[in-house]
Amino acid sequence: MTREPSPTVRKRRLASELRRLRETAGLTIEDVGEKLECSPSKISRIETLRVGVTPRDVRDMLLLYGVGEEQREYLVQIAREARIKGWWEAFGDVGRGAFLGFEAEAAILRTYNAVLVPGLAQTEAYIRALISEGAPDMSKEEAERRIAMRMARKNILERPDPPRVSFVLDEAILRRPVGGAEVMRTQFDHIVDLAARPNITFQVIPFVHGSYPGMGSSFVIMEFPDPADRDVVYVEGTVDGQFQDNADEVDYHTMLWGHLVASALPPQDSVAFVADAARQLD
């Protein structure tokens, strides 16, 4: 599995560029709608990612904006890539498409979690226990779909060019016996194995550290290989999460990440800490 262009990332880049180029051309949304004989709301929805856009519409808009041929063809190609379906769309009934779309193309992932083992590090047994214990009324069919989606998500770690992934975990994750001792033992062993990979690090913030900045507010910072794609922060919520990509939010969570890393045990000590937690289960 190689890193394929993510339509989610392409749509965001395209929408941002179309808005920037329209403003550079000195045109309002109403101007564009009138000249292209479409409703202004269509242009607005394109620029705010509420609808997709065809390569033909992109070409028409760029010609109106006076964009040169080379940049025009580049953005039309981006529009084509934005229409490709990502693997996660097959799980649209159970997955968070936008999150999975961003994650699929990220080159760097920084994940802090205070409650659960992060999804990319979960074993199948841990996933099954989370679903069976956390959603006992879920149908078997939906449960299997969710398990399949979560396992497919982890394939990005097996690519020839996997992302660099850093995890910071609160010790509470290690002490909550999801699924029982055997499930947790297997999960701890998996974390130790993952930490041996050159692109993955784990750090644990132990209870003895006391409180720390950002405690309990789980989030993921995603960086992409192309500098044209702005970093994204996904902040977990009680029911659903929120994406933030404005500079202030990204800078804030990057600063918070620095505090979390400083509060945690170093990677080598953290792996030893996890291994010791596994031994305590015996």
Question: Looking at the structure, do residues 209 and 98 belong to the same domain, yes or no?
Answer: yes
Is residue 277 within 8 Å of 174, Cβ to Cβ? yes
Question: Looking at the structure, do residues 51 and 97 belong to the same domain, yes or no?
Answer: no
Which residue among 37, 64, 82 closes a domain? Answer: 82
Which residue reads 């205070």 in tokens? 114
The residue range of the domain holding 52 is 7-82
Arithmetic mean of pLDDT over the chain? 93
pLDDT band at 117 (very low <50, low <70, confident <90, very high): very high
Could you give the number of structural domains in the chain?
A: 2
- pLDDT the model gives residue 238: 56
Asked if residue 1 belongs to a domain, the reply is no
Query: Token pair of 269, please?
Result: 């000590």
Question: Looking at the structure, do residues 76 and 95 belong to the same domain, yes or no?
Answer: no
User: Helix/strand/coil (H, E, C) string of 13-55?
Assistant: HHHHHHHHHHHHCCCCHHHHHHHCCCCHHHHHHHHCCCCCCCH
- pLDDT the model gives residue 188: 98
Question: Looking at the structure, do residues 66 and 201 belong to the same domain, yes or no?
Answer: no
Question: Looking at the structure, do residues 148 and 182 belong to the same domain, yes or no?
Answer: yes
Asked if residue 2 belongs to a domain, the reply is no
Question: Looking at the structure, do residues 214 and 228 belong to the same domain, yes or no?
Answer: yes
pLDDT in tens, 183-205: 999 999 999 999 999 999 999 99
pLDDT in tens, 202-249: 999 999 999 999 998 899 999 999 998 999 999 986 556 788 888 999
Question: Looking at the structure, do residues 70 and 155 belong to the same domain, yes or no?
Answer: no
At residue 123, the 3 state secondary structure works out as: coil
- Helix H or strand E encompassing 174: helix 172-175
- pLDDT the model gives residue 269: 98
pTM: 0.90
- pLDDT the model gives residue 240: 67
Which residue among 65, 82, 99 closes a domain? Answer: 82
In whole angstroms, what is the distance from residue 189 CA to residue 184 CA?
9
The single-letter DSSP state of residue 2 is -
In whole angstroms, what is the distance from residue 241 CA to residue 165 CA?
20
Percent of the chain at pLDDT > 90 equals: 85
- pLDDT the model gives residue 2: 58
Question: Looking at the structure, do residues 68 and 101 belong to the same domain, yes or no?
Answer: no
Supply the CATH number for residue 188's domain: 3.30.870.10
pLDDT in tens, 2-35: 567 799 999 999 999 999 999 999 999 999 999 9
Q: How far apart are the first and last CA of the chain?
A: 37
pLDDT in tens, 30-53: 999 999 999 999 999 999 988 889
Q: Indicate if the pLDDT at residue 80 is higher than 90.
A: yes
Could you tell me which residues are beta bridge partners of residue 200?
A: 165
Question: Looking at the structure, do residues 261 and 193 belong to the same domain, yes or no?
Answer: yes
In whole angstroms, what is the distance from residue 95 CA to residue 154 CA?
13
Question: Looking at the structure, do residues 205 and 252 belong to the same domain, yes or no?
Answer: yes
Asked if residue 70 belongs to a domain, the reply is yes
Q: What average pLDDT does the segment 121-137 reach?
A: 94
Which residue among 43, 61, 82 closes a domain? Answer: 82
Question: Looking at the structure, do residues 60 and 176 belong to the same domain, yes or no?
Answer: no
Question: Looking at the structure, do residues 140 and 78 belong to the same domain, yes or no?
Answer: no
Asked if residue 168 belongs to a domain, the reply is yes
pLDDT in tens, 153-174: 999 999 999 999 999 999 999 9
